[in-house]
Structure 1
Amino acid sequence: MRTVLIGLFSLALGISSSHVTGEDLSSWGKRITFQASFDHGADADFAAGDKRIYTATNISRETVEAGLRSPVVALADGGKWGQCLRFSDRADQVIYFNGAENIPYAADGFDVTLAFWMRLDPDQDLKPGYVDPLQITDKAWNNSALFVDFTKDDTPRHIRLGVFSDLEFWNPQKIPWDNIAVADRPMVEVARPPFSRDKWTHVAFVLRGMNTDATVAQFYLDGKLQGQLDKPQRFTWDIEKLAVMLGIEYIGLMDDFTVFRGAMTAAEVAALAQLTESTSSLTREPTAQADAAEWIQLFNGRDLDGWQIKIRGYDLNDNFANTFRVVDGKIQVGYEGYDQFNQRYGHLFYRQPFSSYDLRVEYRFIGQQANGGEGWALRNSGIMVHGQDPGTMAKDQRFPVSIEVQLLGGNGKDPRTTANLCTPGTNVVMDGELITRHCTSSRSQTYHGDQWVSVLVRVRGNRLIEHVIDGQTVLAYTQPQLDPSDAEAKLLLATQDKLLSGGTISLQSESHPVEFRKVELRVVNE
């Protein structure tokens, strides 16, 4: 594996941006998975995953708070396009975004393009030591890591792109860093890079064929190709721990950080560096229109066409006491016809199963709980995903074997999170551990009263499920699976795989009246 060292003006590999215009880049707007302009706050403008920016006490990220919490990192005027992120001194804390979904990773191969703008601080130099304006990893700088850094000993400092596969892959003998020949380090190094206090420099790198035997990593400055690595790469990331860290030991400005799914050509990178406005412009109206067209309205606002009903103790599609109905354009779950609830749990199933998708639901709790409802069921409902076919449920079965996104309302005074996880007949994996407890709380805030709440559930087959409230991922887990110790799940294991890659979607009736005014789904092709 060779490190490529290139003087700034010694290479004429950049392709003229006249071959590709800003208008030609418009199709790349649909491929943006993450974009932070810093013009509307520190959080991202757009994110396929979590938009929030976080501050950790150290690079291990053991103690974390949402938001910018460092005294030396702040939003500032004078950005490339508007505001920017300013690192006024070396920070003790680490600023980062979550990488899950924002970095389009796949174990069997992926392409990605990352780009941002940098400008050195007008008042002071970088401090001694290595400086990493960008580092992406779930482990360490030399183990499954991508980074852009400044060297510590050169004057002026060189800048490098580091592409460090799994440590066992690129350095299986654990050779100490100082003993590795420069030519064998997995980096592209640029001498005398075009950074200054007076102007902004565009930084980009393109990774093509990652996790394959035909990987190419290219490093660009101001739209010009500086060098590349041609070597197989193997990145094994725990996506729940993946972090996009900004400004480690850095003093200076950063703006317009963007991640694209796919590998740009040299001409496209050159055009990207020539844009006359933020890359957020690529995500505007055309993408908004496409986004609206992609969402399927599972609830049509008029009736329950396309849905099936299963209430405990009743046959399929026996809607006892009109439990599920449409009122004023909303799905309403009510119990006026019940003398006692008597554990008659109900579920409203969409007829078509799905596997990989985004599901957006808006709900609110209303009225009083039905007589005989359990205490835990007060202001309690749920969205069931990866569920069993209602036609396979026993007549007296309480819940479908499924993964439940538990919806809870506050009682007016106490904290009570929503978008929690419950697992009727199932288990999941969190942080590498099989979770067998029935319910796990999220990190959401509490929603009291009858306010509408919007929840987004990102489902990616058996690979990942995320619960998102108000743009923040409040719970994430992997490998949803049947519980072999559960009697109802055992019946399903006789005819299907243990891991759940798809299934039904249903809305729950658990004794407290609830309304749903939006149920929409976007299929995600992976």
Structure 2
Amino acid sequence: MFKKTTTALACLMALFYGMAQENTLKESLIFYAPFNESTTAQVAVGDAEIYSASSRKELQNAIKGLEGSNVIFVKDIGLSGGALDFKKKGKPVVFFDAFRNMGYSKESWSGAISFWLQLDPAKDLEPGFCDPIQITDVNYNDASIWVDFTKENPRDFRLGVIGDLELWNPNKIGPDNNPALEKRLVRMKNPPFKRGEWTHIVINFSNLGADSSEYQLYVNGELQGTKKDIGDLFTWEEEKAKIFLGLNYIGLMDELSVFNQPLSAETINMVYKVKSLGLLIEP
């Protein structure tokens, strides 16, 4: 009798704990583009539309949708519906506005970014660095959050959370063999990306712009590394900030979501196992 009661209590506690995690996801979610039926975000505090431009120099001439880009929306190839298919490397860029959709704060900014990729980096990517996601108002090296694949096979997978350029790199030293840049990276060797299999990525960050800053990279529910106390200022002209998708990337992307607080390891693992965030946040 005691054993049955204990087992029932454990199951009940697990149920309540799972419900608490789902409530945290719902309450902290500020942007969600599942790409199930269209490219428009299902949840957005700011603009929900996706945009494309012929290059980063032509952002002021961006248009809604994917026309003119190297990206197509394909139904029924994603985790629970459609997905974005990045066909080739090129100058055209695709993005969502970061204004209000990232919950940015100059003084102390915290949050999380979750998305899924499918590719074989060694076979699918063309030569050069590739940033599946890059969030900035200027460039990768100036108040930016990104993940990238390094430029030579075997490619490493890296998280960069980079503060104001004039403070961390006043001499504007290039990215190759720059110790100041390497100090700010979480690097993963032999990442598990494969064709035919979705890989889950989560970027957690806390207190950006403050001395107590911290950020983490999770891949397939497992922590790959943490950086603490970098203390860079992180300054945006927020109206100019973009969530760039698939810079030089070739492969699939799905289920892009942004939260206004970091996610616990347990919540990240739950999202990884369930696959579609929509199953966790819908009533």
| Partner Cα distance (2:48, 2:244) in 1 | 14
**2:252 counterpart of 1:253:** yes
Counterpart of 1:40 (choices 37, 61, 65) is: 37
* Other-structure match for 2:170: 172
Given candidates 169, 186, 189, the residue that maps to 2:187 is 189
Residue 3 (structure 2) pairs with residue 28 (structure 1): no
- 5+ residue gaps, structure 1, are 1-16, 286-526
Q: Is the contact between residue 159 and residue 193 of structure 1 (CA under 8 Å) also seen in structure 2?
A: yes
Whole-angstrom CA distance in 2 between matches of 1:253 and 1:121: 10
Specify the SS of the correspondent of 2:266: helix
What is the Cα deviation at residue 183 of structure 1?
A: 7.5
Shift of 1:172: 2.6
Q: Name the structure with the higher helix share.
A: 2
Offset at 1:282?
4.0
Would the aligned equivalents of 2:37 and 2:81 in 1 still touch at CA under 8 Å? no
* Matched positions, count: 266
Change (3 A) 1:254 1:18: farther
- Structure 2 partner of 1:96: 95
1:263 shift after superposition? 1.2
* Aligned-residue offset at 1:26: 2.6
Note if contact 1:186-1:229 (Cα within 8 Å) is conserved in structure 2: yes
1:139 is matched with which residue?
138
Q: Does residue 266 of structure 1 match 2:265? A: yes
Shift of 1:63: 2.1
Q: Aligned letter for 1:95?
A: V
- Give 1:55-454 correspondences, 5 Å limit: 55-60=52-57, 61-76=59-74, 77-120=76-119, 125-155=124-154, 157-181=155-179, 184-230=182-228, 231-276=230-275, 278-285=276-283
1:262-319 Cα offsets, whole Å, 9 max, x none, are 011222212221125x21344433xxxxxxxxxxxxxxxxxxxxxxxxxxxxxxxxxx
Deviation track 1:332-382 (CA, whole Å, cap 9, x = no partner) reads xxxxxxxxxxxxxxxxxxxxxxxxxxxxxxxxxxxxxxxxxxxxxxxxxxx
Query: For the residues of structure 2 that align with 1:70 and 1:30, how far apart are their CA atoms?
Result: 36
Contact 2:134/2:146 (<8 A) preserved: yes
CA shift digits 1:125-175 (9 cap, x unpaired): 1111011100000001111111110000131x1110011100022213333
TM-score (norm 2): 0.87
Structure 2: runs of 5+ lacking an equivalent: 1-13
Larger radius of gyration between Structure 1 and Structure 2:
1
The one-letter amino acid paired with 1:247 is G
Shift of 1:112: 0.5
Greater RCO, 1 or 2 (C-alpha within 8 Å, sep 6+): 2
Which amino acid counterpart does residue 195 of structure 2 have in structure 1? R
Task: Report the identity percentage.
Answer: 34
TM-score, scaled relative to structure 1: 0.48
Aligned equivalent of 2:51: 54
CA drift at 1:80: 1.5
Shift of 1:182: 7.5
**Where do 4+ consecutive residues of structure 1 move more than 4 Å?**
17-20
